[in-house]
């Protein structure tokens, strides 16, 4: 699986921000309220980030133990992480990064709409900014966890050998 690209995250955020801006304008024109993120989102996204970081701890420990074994040049085997577990965490991190990018884009679109109007509620702006910051926290943690799930590079001492050519 390829790492999440910055351009993908940026395009998801930009598209979602534009949709939020247009939807907010359409809601107000039809007499409805602008969709403001609930206060629970400000706490839920960092909680997901903490759980994601906790679930990635076996990969962090494996990479640390592998680096220590390579520098000490010991033959003691390093306990490997279950590959299915690592893939599940990797998929969760990738999904979290794309989802938090979408949430961030939506919050930025709503914030731009609220700040472009003469009258806005400070509570609405505060919750929108809080949800945007929470989305950034989840995005950063997801990208870091995604890096933890990468395989070690060959130049860091993996002992793969070239297959011998058959004569």
* Residues 88-142 pLDDT 10s: 999 999 999 999 999 999 999 999 998 888 876 778 888 999 999 999 999 999 9
Distant-in-sequence, close-in-space partners of 48: CB < 8 Å, separation ≥ 6: 96, 138
Mean pLDDT for the stretch of residues 10-33: 93
Predicted local distance difference test score (pLDDT) of residue 167 = 38
Predicted local distance difference test score (pLDDT) of residue 145 = 93
Q: pTM for this one?
A: 0.83
* Distance set, CA 64 to CA 1, 49, 52 (Å): 22, 21, 18
| Band of residue 75 on the pLDDT scale cut at 50, 70, 90 | confident
């Amino acid at each position: 699986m390829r790492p999440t690209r910055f351009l993908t995250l940026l395009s998801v955020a930009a598209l979602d921000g534009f949709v939020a801006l247009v939807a907010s304008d359409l809601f107000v024109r039809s007499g409805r309220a602008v969709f403001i993120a609930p206060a629970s989102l400000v706490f839920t996204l960092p909680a997901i980030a903490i759980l994601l970081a906790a679930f990635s701890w076996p990969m962090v420990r494996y990479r640390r133990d592998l680096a220590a074994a390579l520098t000490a040049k010991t033959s003691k085997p390093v306990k490997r992480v279950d590959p299915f577990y690592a893939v599940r965490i990797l998929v969760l991190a990738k999904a979290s990064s794309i989802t938090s990018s979408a949430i961030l884009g939506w919050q930025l679109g709503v914030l731009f709409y609220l700040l472009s109007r003469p009258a806005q509620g400070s509570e609405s702006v505060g919750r929108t900014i809080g949800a945007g910051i929470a989305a950034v926290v989840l995005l950063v943690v997801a990208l870091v966890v995604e890096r933890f799930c990468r395989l070690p590079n060959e130049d860091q001492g993996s002992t793969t050998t070239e297959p011998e050519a058959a004569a």
